[in-house]
Amino acid sequence: MRLRSTCAVLGAALLLAAVPGSASAATGQFRYDYVTVEGYEATGFLNDPPSGECLDLPGVGPENPRPGDSPKNRTDAWATVFAGSGCTGDWFRLRPHTGGASERLKVRSVVFD
């Protein structure tokens, strides 16, 4: 009986070691406003975005001459927003949970700590 218990414990440990760890991600939602190429007001959002990865914001890429604005960080991680795509240009940090800015802050990309 002891051998069976030992084998079960070892098997479970090997199984846990073989399962890859989950990717680090910010939990929550990041929101921003923008005007579509067609001229409609819209709100974009990222749910549980990955951490440490530059993300170009959907809807405000090269096809849209107008950047997004009014970012709201409702995730549990710091968000650094950038004026340019590819996390380039002027940047601003938004604190977790309550960080936000007005329509004066223009954004095209973000990275989460």
Model confidence over 53-66: pLDDT tens digits? 999 999 998 889 99
What does the domain layout of the chain look like in residue ranges? 28-112
pTM of the model: 0.78
Model confidence over 44-92: pLDDT tens digits? 999 999 999 999 999 998 889 999 999 999 999 999 999 999 999 999 9
**One-letter amino acid for residue 31 of the chain:** R
Least confident of 6-10, 20-24, 34-38, 86-90: 6-10
Superfamily of domain 28-112: Crystallins (2.60.20.10)
Residues 82, 49, 74, 71, Cα dihedral to 10° = 30
**One-letter amino acid for residue 77 of the chain:** A
